[in-house]
Structure 1
Amino acid sequence: MTTIALIMAAGSGTRTGLDFPKQYLEMSGETVLRRTVRGFLDADGIDHVLVVINPRDEDLYKEAVAGLDLLPFAPGGDTRQDSVRNGLEALAPLAPDQVLIHDAARPFFTPDLINRCLAALKDHTAVLPAQPMVDTLKSVDGDRITGTVDRDSVVAAQTPQCFRYGPIMEAHERFRGRPVTDDIALAELAGIPVQWIAGEAGNTKITTREDVKIITSQELTDIRTGLGFDVHAFADDRDMWLGGVQIPYERGLKGHSDADVALHAITDAILGAIGEGDIGTHFPPSDDQWKGASSDRFLAHAASLVTERGGRIANIDLTIMCEAPKIGPHREAMRQRIGEIVGLDPSRVSVKGTTTEKLGFTGRREGIAAQAITTVRLPE
């Protein structure tokens, strides 16, 4: 008995708000697609795995599944139904007995679900994992409620949808061009009896922008906090840069780079959160290549180290300490610029200005100090 998993990965996933297909989203150091494929490769009873992709995504696909033992991919079609049929046709030379058709964007299934699907498929031509409804369901007409649906009579369909290969291949050929929502609907049209089994609450599909936010937050459970502090003296004949923004002021700050004390403090906070030393480790002042360099390069580098680890910056809290210049008029511009540099929504960036009540070097207007705290989320 030959059983093949057919992974559907040809969609564009536009509802996620991503600028690339959601199946290539990285979570915990691997893409959604790779996690899904590995789940089937590691499952008992699955002989082969074939992925259906958009040919335009071939480079993304090859990178995502590098090193995995897969059948050659099949090209997707104009609709999901076309894509499934293309995949089924690609399997024909192997003459499989059974096929499990699964959405690439459902990476959280367990081996137990696959085992139960295969067990049910021994006695049935088509098997659907599904979840009973918990919420009360209402029928509507426009913006009006028209009735209550018996929730005991409906279930929420999941994948993998499992079939004997011959009948589902025949159904796809017979109803070619007939629009349906899933492969079970085609089985219904063809008169194939469908057995449903309990699905899994965790077997969710990544569909919307909110799904992406929730899932990536759940995956990044190693929460780190970093503290950064920096000081620069005032200098004549230099432009004043603070928080990535040029500030109109009669003096600038003394330093090997542009001396943006605010960005330096944030950079050190991020590096501290991930245990990567300090700004001088990565950009030593003894190296002439950094003379006069824009400090946004330092901050962008620190942020990229977080991304390389599969993590993200959750927030930045910056305090700038000086008698002058005034920070308030430039606060929003700084928030926007810092967010741009690290790829963070400005709502997650706080910029505060304070004085030291004319005490110390800042009170004597000899320079500016800055302190930053940042929270970073990393995969375990």
Structure 2
Amino acid sequence: MPTCVALIVAGGRGERFGADLPKQYLHLAGRPVLRRSVEPFLHHPLVSGVRVVIDPRHRELYEQAVQGLDLPDPIQGGPTRQDSVRNGLEALVGHSPDLVLIHDAARPLVDAATITRVVEALAKHPGAIAAIPLADTLKRAEGGLSAGTVDRTALWRARTPQGFRFADILKAHRMAVGMNLTDDAAVAEQAGLPVALVPSNPENLKVTQSDDLARAERLFLSGLGDIRTGTGFDVHKFCEGDHVWLCGVKVPHTQRLEGHSDADVGLHALTDAILGCLGEGDIGTHFPPSDPQWKGADSAKFLRHAADLVARRGGVIAHVDVTILCERPKVGPHREAMVARMAEILGIAPSRVSVKATTTEGLGFTGRREGIAAQAAATVRLPFTE
């Protein structure tokens, strides 16, 4: 199978959008637009790797957006999109992939089938782009009046990804320095490369204005009608120590929790809740306590794995809720940090995360301060598959 790298172009400032943040870092259904654009390629079987081109001034925003994804360092973009793409291609020279897919970070609704069609077309053509045949009647205007109808028979609307044989498009971009070309297909055409048109999914829109983001969210959520709820429960006993891990936060205490990993009951319960939504067993199925590699492990790895399984199914985590049951330590002073940390691990907005705490009024093992328990609930939205 040929090696294929997806180059996600995220260097724009989004000035037309009019928001405080560049549009690629705004949230779409709880996750940044950039993350939504990256994940279909990251999980696609025909894509060997993903690289992202960014404006270096947005490095912190980028790191927040892709937290937990297995991505190499981003590539520094240029003053124009064409410059940014060329910088991205030059950064791939040492890896020499067979194929490259160039995709706009502002197109978060690309689907796996469109990616597959573009890649497969490159077996016969030097270039191939996702596109949609023009359906609207076109009018030529003169002085604000209709001056005739334009034949739309052979007209298509170009979208991304746009795929090419790597060596060909790199050479074409080097030849096009200084030209102001509208997309990578135009760069290829300028160099004499044939470019095939393949059907794009109709929802593969570009987020340019604020209305586009609202429409993209409606489209995205409309395809996620399989709404599931899962629950999780976990217990760990106290042992000698000076802190406990709760919901991803290190909390000072007179004891610690005993367990094979870091014994974070909050993250363990929530991991099980998300796995329950997917019908994927429990945390022990994925991370057996008998496996020495998980000894002392950060439980964030377990929760992130569960979130990745949701993303691979094309779903979203709509909301999570964790309740800690203990007499001590007090959760209240750390609640905000816990919410922020779990939101970061899951890649969702803090408003979609809830942390609560209660005691058992001195009853049971938690009332006797022998350990801590946690229960969790998660709501996940998935596309219908059966």
Q: 2: CA distance between counterparts of 1:19 and 1:47?
A: 34
Q: Secondary structure at the match of 2:131?
A: strand
Mapped partners of 1:88, 1:199: distance in 2? 24
- What corresponds to 2:93 in structure 1? 92
* 1:140 and 2:141 correspond: yes
What TM-score do you get using the length of structure 2 for normalisation?
0.57
Q: 1:109 to 1:219 in 2, by over 3 A?
A: closer
| Secondary structure class of the residue paired with 1:119 | helix
Question: Following TM superposition, by how much is the alpha carbon of 1:151 offset from its aligned partner in structure 2, in angstroms?
Answer: 1.1
Is the Cα–Cα contact under 8 Å of residues 30 and 349 in structure 2 kept in the other structure? Answer: no
Moved more, 19-28 or 213-222: 213-222
Structure 2 residue 86 is the aligned partner of structure 1 residue 44: no
Residue type of the alignment partner of 1:109: V
- The alpha-carbon distance between structure 1 residues 142 and 162, as it changes in their structure 2 partners (threshold 3 A), is farther
CA deviation after TM superposition for structure 1 residue 308, in Å? 3.0
SS of the residue aligned with 2:160? coil
Of 136-145 and 200-209, deviating more is 136-145
Task: Kindly state the Cα deviation for residue 310 of structure 1 after the two structures are TM-superposed.
Answer: 5.0
Partner of 1:78: 79
Equivalent residues in 2 for 1:186-205, closer than 5 Å? 186-205=187-206
The one-letter amino acid paired with 2:99 is: Q
CA deviation after TM superposition for structure 1 residue 138, in Å: 1.2
In structure 2, relative to structure 1, the CA distance for the partners of 1:167 and 1:218 (3 Å cut) is closer
Runs of 4+ in 1 over 6 A off after TM superposition: none
How far did residue 220 of structure 1 move?
A: 6.5
Q: Counterpart of 1:174 in structure 2: which amino acid?
A: M
Q: Distance in 1 between matches of 2:58 and 2:132?
A: 32
Once the two structures are superposed, residues 42-99 of structure 1 have per-residue CA deviations (whole angstroms, 9 ceiling, x without a partner) of 0011111000000000000011111211222111111000000000000001011110
Q: Is the 8 A contact 2:23 2:207 kept in 1?
A: yes
The answer as to whether partners of 2:33 and 2:106 remain within 8 angstroms in 1 is yes
Amino acid at match of 1:309: S
Query: 1:372 matched to which residue of 2?
Result: none
Change (3 A) 1:142 1:62: farther
**1:175 shift after superposition:** 1.4
Between structure 1 and structure 2, the one with the greater Rg is: 1
Contact 2:109/2:220 (8 A) holds in 1: no
Q: 1:309 aligns with which of 328, 342, 351?
A: 351
| 1:209 counterpart residue number | 210
Shift of 1:12: 1.1
CA distance in 2, matches of 1:275, 1:110: 30
Secondary structure of 2:141's aligned partner: strand
Contact in 1 for aligned 2:31/2:349 (Cα 8 Å)? no
Q: Summarize the alignment of residues 1-380 of structure 1 with structure 2, pairs less than 5 Å apart.
A: 1-217=2-218, 308-309=350-351, 380=381
Distance 1:129 1:43, change over 3 A: same
State the alpha-carbon separation in 2 of the partners of residues 89 and 62 from structure 1.
22
Partner of 1:172: helix, strand, or coil?
helix
In structure 1, how many angstroms separate the alpha carbons of the residues matched to 2:43 and 2:221? 24
Given the superposition, is the C-alpha separation of residues 219 and 183 from structure 1 closer, same or farther in structure 2, using an over 3 Å criterion? closer
Aligned partners of 1:2, 1:218: CA distance in 2, in Å? 32
Query: How far off is 1:379 after superposition?
Result: 8.7
Write the letter of the residue equivalent to 2:209: T
Q: How much has 1:17 moved relative to structure 2?
A: 2.2
Contact persistence 1:158–1:199 (CA under 8 A): yes
User: Matched residues, percent identical?
Assistant: 45
Check 1:219–1:133 CA distance in 2 against 1; reply closer, same or farther (3 A cut).
closer
Q: Structure 1: give runs of 5+ residues left out of the alignment.
A: 223-273, 277-305, 312-377
Give the number of aligned pairs. Answer: 239
Q: Which amino acid aligns with 2:76?
A: P
Structure 2: 5+ residue stretches without partners: 225-319, 323-347, 354-378, 382-386
TM-score by length of 1: 0.58
Q: Aligned AA for 1:50? A: R
